[in-house]
Chains A and B, each alone.
Chain A
Amino acid sequence: MTLDLTQVSVTHANGVQALRGVELHIGAGEQVAIIGPSGAGKSSLLNLLGTALPPASGEMQVLGERVWQLSARQRQRLRARIGLIHQAPPLPPRQRVVTAVLAGKLGQWGMGKSLLNLLHPLDVSGARAALTRLDLSDKLFAQCQQLSGGQLQRVGIARVLYQAPEVLLADEPVSAMDPVLAEHTLSVLCRHAREHNVTLVASLHAVDLALAHFSRIIGLRDGQILFDLPTDAVDRERLDKLYANEQLQPSPAPPSPLSVQIPRC
């Protein structure tokens, strides 16, 4: 198993319990979508898997290692094999896109290369290749502050593609993109995962995107796993239950946040 959680709970510093007794096993090369209402703990789960958050209790293994029992050095080496795509990529506004993308391999490069790359981008073609797949190669030498939210998200994805990790975690990777672009970007991610046998776990608030691209769906609600099923077994009833009590009563269909996204781009 690539990702193993046994009875894991996560408590934030402010005392809020984000995850309770989560049991989750994901094998190598699986493609899993996490859906659920906002505040369900999707980001906490991905941050936990990305070793950004330590579990409060329970057992956790990533790539066969007990992350929080490793030394700091070993943990950094493990982290170089995990890629985390942030919903709002934290990129310095004045950094050039090419540098931001190349920073993906900092965990793998040695001292000299990292230092030289700071002064002059060393692998422009590699960065261009990653950006081309996301249709953003024209912004290679732009500053991050000149990009829109959706473009920034794609730079964040390009950085992780360039990092080429064994586990790819994506926290709402397409939330700021228009429907067509979101569709395209997700298929790029899934194709990359398939071709390189990368384990892909993505949280999405657009249920139809999750159903269309992923083979396994996890429904998260109030910090607990409500269902964990192959996509074919996910029916409307379960989705209704997952999103129940949200202000969706007029329409029985699962929410389609795609229409909500359009004005945001």
Chain B
Amino acid sequence: MNRLINALLFLCIGAAVVASFAYLGIDLGQLGDSGNLNRMGAYAQRFLSPDLSPSHLKAIGHGALETIAMSALGTLLAAVFGLVLALPAAGRFGWPMQSASRLILNALRAVPELVWAALMVLAAGLGPNAGTLALALHTTGVLGRLFAEALENTPPEPAEAIRLQGGNAVWAFCYGTLPNLMPQLLAYSLYRWENNIRMASVLGFVGAGGLGQMLYVSLSLFQEAQASTVILAMLLLVLAVDTLSSWSRQRWVKA
């Protein structure tokens, strides 16, 4: 009986695949045509000769710096506002504030970076301003949520002990809660920064500055050589940031 059901399921999946091809009108046979293969080869070949002229490299360096600056500033803003929103979201100021700040965090997080970027380009104009704001808005939602959870899981006793010695709530937080929390906050922020660098190189597609904008322009003008240099630069950037981020996490968080 079981086997029969399995066989039936397989048949259904097979039928669904065939039906999808028919519905979308994809002709796999054409893909194997010698003319098409040649054209594909030529297209790929144009990417194999990246444009390494000094003027283009300079432009790429500028774009890469813009991408890094966008992501760093966006993440920093997000960490600050995330912590500001995480305190009420962890229930520090009563339940009305908790529900309100959770609603804000959820709303910020629910809208993806690309959509925020498209919205911000309309609001703040083309360029890195829009990208920074977009990253900051989405990441605030993510980091605020993570910070709030970390806050809820931090033992309250050290802060209470300081309250009992007459310290006010701010110092109880700074001396009692923050030392436990700091490594976690740092790890989350570094991780989101890593994500944001990748994201910042894509945000340019909607006109929000950085390497992505260069890539979009080059591809639109069929300048494959220039585009391939930009892609290489993106790869290098992401690799470098991954290394830097894991190194700094080792150094600050694990120790």
Q: Are A103 and B166 in contact (CB under 8 A)?
A: no
Residues of A near B158 (CB, < 8 A) are 90-92
Nearest B residue (CB) for A103: B175
Q: Are A51 and B164 in contact (CB under 8 A)?
A: yes
- Asked if A107 meets B166 with Cβ closer than 8 Å, knowing A90-B155, A90-B160, A94-B182, the reply is yes
Please pick, from B155, B160, B162, B182, the residue contacting A103 in the complex, using a CB distance under 8 A.
Answer: B162
Please pick, from A79, A91, A95, the residue contacting B165 in the complex, using a CB distance under 8 A.
Answer: A79
The complex places the Cα of A76 from the Cα of B169 at a distance, in Å, of 10
Please pick, from A50, A80, A106, the residue contacting B175 in the complex, using a CB distance under 8 A.
Answer: A106
Number of interface residues of B (CB under 8 A): 22
Q: Are A95 and B166 in contact (CB under 8 A)?
A: no
Q: A52 within 8 Å of B by Cβ?
A: yes
The complex places the Cα of A84 from the Cα of B165 at a distance, in Å, of 8
Q: A108 within 8 Å of B by Cβ?
A: yes
Please pick, from A50, A93, A115, A118, the residue contacting B164 in the complex, using a CB distance under 8 A.
Answer: A50
Residues of A near B125 (CB, < 8 A) are none
Work out how many contacts link A and B, with CB atoms closer than 8 A. Answer: 74
Q: B33 within 8 Å of A by Cβ?
A: no
Nearest B residue (CB) for A81: B166
The complex places the Cα of A83 from the Cα of B164 at a distance, in Å, of 8
The complex places the Cα of A95 from the Cα of B177 at a distance, in Å, of 10
Residues of B near A107 (CB, < 8 A) are 165-167
Interface residues of A in 109-159 (CB under 8 A from B): 114-115, 118
Q: Are A103 and B167 in contact (CB under 8 A)?
A: yes
Residues of A near B179 (CB, < 8 A) are 92-95, 99
Please pick, from B172, B175, B180, the residue contacting A99 in the complex, using a CB distance under 8 A.
Answer: B175
Q: Are B166 and A80 in contact (CB under 8 A)?
A: yes
Nearest A residue (CB) for B182: A94
Chain A's interface size range is: 20 to 34
Q: Are A76 and B168 in contact (CB under 8 A)?
A: yes
Please pick, from B161, B166, B167, the residue contacting A90 in the complex, using a CB distance under 8 A.
Answer: B161
Q: A77 within 8 Å of B by Cβ?
A: yes
- Asked if A52 meets B164 with Cβ closer than 8 Å, knowing A90-B158, A92-B158, the reply is yes
Q: B91 within 8 Å of A by Cβ?
A: no
Q: Are B180 and A93 in contact (CB under 8 A)?
A: yes
Residues of A near B127 (CB, < 8 A) are none
Residues of B near A103 (CB, < 8 A) are 162, 165, 167, 171, 175-176
- Asked if A76 meets B162 with Cβ closer than 8 Å, knowing A90-B155, A94-B180, A103-B175, the reply is no
Q: Are B161 and A79 in contact (CB under 8 A)?
A: no
Nearest B residue (CB) for A95: B179
- The 5 A-B residue pairs with the shortest CB-CB distance in the complex, in nearest-first order: A107-B166, A80-B166, A90-B157, A106-B167, A92-B179
User: Could you show 25 A-B contacts with beta carbons less than 8 Å apart?
Assistant: A50-B164, A78-B166, A79-B163, A79-B165, A80-B166, A81-B166, A82-B164, A90-B155, A91-B158, A92-B158, A92-B175, A92-B176, A94-B179, A94-B180, A94-B183, A104-B165, A106-B162, A106-B171, A107-B165, A107-B166, A107-B167, A114-B167, A114-B174, A115-B174, A118-B175
